[in-house]
Amino acid sequence: EPEVTQTPSHQVTQMGQEVILRCVPISNHLYFYWYRQILGQKVEFLVSFYNNEISEKSEIFDDQFSVERPDGSNFTLKIRSTKLEDSAMYFCASSDGTSGRQETQYFGPGTRLLVL
């Protein structure tokens, strides 16, 4: 069964450093998403991406965040200058974008980011 994959599974970085989180969405999917879950808190939407551009973003997704689809398979989330409060589990998801009410977002296993 096709699945969303994410690398790395864990990343530790120093405050102020740039990090890139990588995702490989399901191959025929058209919409891609990033969510985050701060420890003990809700899963929060960050951004959705369609047709090589951001289709929707939350207020969390400020100028320090960016997303890119550098090739036909990868989808990345870049955090330019990490802050302590960026420590969280980051989930990538994808959906086929064609099914209307049948559409489902499929989630990857997550990348746990720790900013020291």
Partner 1 sequence: AQSVTQLGSHVSVSEGALVLLRCNYSSSVPPYLFWYVQYPNQGLQLLLKYTSAATLVKGINGFEAEFKKSETSFHLTKPSAHMSDAAEYFCAEGRRALTFGSGTRLQVQP
- The residues that touch partner 1, with contacts defined as CB under 8 A, are 4, 31, 33, 35, 41-45, 48, 55-56, 58, 91, 93, 95, 101-110
Cβ neighbourhood burial of 89 (10 Å; 0-12, 13-18, 19+): middle
Give me the least distance between CB of 89 and partner 1, in Å please: 9
CB nearer to partner 1: pick between 57 and 66: 57
Give me the least distance between CB of 103 and partner 1, in Å please: 8
Residue 99's contacts (CB-CB under 8 Å, 6 or more residues apart) are none
Location of structure tokens 């890139």? 20
CB nearer to partner 1: pick between 23 and 115: 23
